[in-house]
Amino acid sequence: MRTVQLGRTGEQISQLALGCMIMGTVTPEDEAVTILNRYAEAGGNFLDTADCYCWWESQGSYGGESEELVGRWLARSGRREDVFLATKGSAVVRNLDLVWKDGRPEWDAAYRNFVGAGAKTLRDAIDGSLRRLGTDHVDLYYVHVDDRSTPLEETLEALAGIVQAGKVRYIGWSNVRTWRLERIRQLCAQHGWPAPVALQQQHSYLRRRAGLRHVSIVDDEQLDYLQTHDDLTLVAYSPILKGIYDDPEKRRNHGVMSAYDGPDAEARAAAVVEVAAEVGVTPNALVLAWLMQQSSPTVVPLIGPRTLQQYEAALPALDVKLTEEQVARLDAAGA
């Protein structure tokens, strides 16, 4: 498995990251452990989780199941030193009673009830994550959901303290606007606080539809910002958009497409199918290969397989080398 440098840190991370979000809930422990073992055996080292994973899968849960499973795997496998371990804080729900209705979570209510990125909240959150993960530090710690109700100075000073205490090596940010990211970086430079080295956003081959306002999906401005600031690595979650590239029927009916529907998406989906046939992989794998071949900015796709079969379906992407002509054709596709 190829590696790339994380920002300008000198750290080498796998160019295909493994998301552990649903491990221990949707994905049973035995299957999750098999996926983790296969990933490590293939040379993968970049694991991603969060303290809130997966409260929405079980009413009454505040999350933590994923971190606990990863912690058990690290303890049994003895691979902690081989793993670049990332987790996140700020998106645990304060009051579960306010977000569940008729046995289903209401996401609008959840977003209004996240604990946020206050100083005490983050200090408590990292201690909880370390306890569940069974380690004395994590390599990368994200603010999971940008918190505009807490002064950035408070959040950044707390993160600096957590880094200074040795509990976190590097920080990152997720689900954030570009102007906020620039403000974060300015404050870090001004006060000598550690600046983010990773930006985790939803990013795929399809482009969000015209006119859509969506804080979590990379737009043209954010891509331009990342191209200019190579000390930030883009970690792309939902890179294959729930697997819609392989299935035209799924593209027509899946809710994930509401952010992408339109002539541009149709043209780009057709281009993916065409090039995937040429190189002999599935369209989903082709999209992962295209993302891994990006260099400006560097992109690390974050896969979150539900099953071992889904994990194995992603692996052919590692062996794809697209020609300059194929990359140009994919880049040019669209309305």
Q: What is the DSSP letter of 100?
A: E
3-state secondary structure of 237: strand
Q: Does residue 269 fall inside a structural domain?
A: no
Chain mean position to CA 173: 10
Q: Does residue 307 fall inside a structural domain?
A: no
Please answer whether residues 126 and 167 qualify as being in contact, where contact means their C-beta atoms are separated by less than 8 angstroms.
Answer: yes
d(CA 301, CA 315): 12
> Tokens 């880049």 sit at which residue?
331
Which sign, positive or negative, has the C-alpha torsion 266, 268, 274, 279? Answer: negative
CA–CA distances in Å: residue 21 to residues 67, 127, 237, 278, 288: 9, 19, 11, 33, 19
Instruction: Identify the bridge partners of residue 302 per DSSP, sorted by sequence position.
Output: 17, 237
In the chain, how many domains are there? 1
Q: Does residue 90 fall inside a structural domain?
A: yes
Q: What is the pLDDT of residues 9-46, one digit of tens each?
A: 999 999 999 999 999 999 999 999 999 999 999 999 99
3-state secondary structure of 156: helix
d(CA 284, CA 208): 18
Chain mean position to CA 282: 22
Query: Is the bond leading into 20 cis (omega within 30 degrees of zero)?
Result: no
Q: Tell which phi-psi region holds residue 43, choosing left (phi > 0), alpha (psi between -120 and 50) or beta.
A: left
Q: Give the domain range for residue 141.
A: 3-196
CATH of the domain at 80: 3.20.20.100
Q: Does residue 87 fall inside a structural domain?
A: yes
Q: Does residue 30 fall inside a structural domain?
A: yes
d(CA 34, CA 310): 12
Which sign, positive or negative, has the C-alpha torsion 153, 227, 8, 134? Answer: positive
- For the full predicted model, state whether its pTM sits above 0.95: yes
Q: What is the pLDDT of residue 335?
A: 78
CA–CA distances in Å: residue 94 to residues 53, 61, 90, 176, 187: 14, 11, 10, 21, 28
3-state secondary structure of 300: strand
Q: Does residue 161 fall inside a structural domain?
A: yes
Q: Enumerate residues 6+ apart whose C-beta is below 8 A from 159.
A: 122, 141, 143, 168, 171, 193, 194
> Could you tell me the two tokens for 248?
């035209």
Tell me the CA end-to-end span of the chain in Å, nearest whole number.
34
Q: 198-202 and 168-174: which strand pairing?
A: parallel
Q: Does residue 66 fall inside a structural domain?
A: yes
Q: What is the pLDDT of residue 57?
A: 96
> Could you tell me the two tokens for 98?
């306010």
Which parts of the chain register pLDDT below 50? none
Q: Does residue 44 fall inside a structural domain?
A: yes
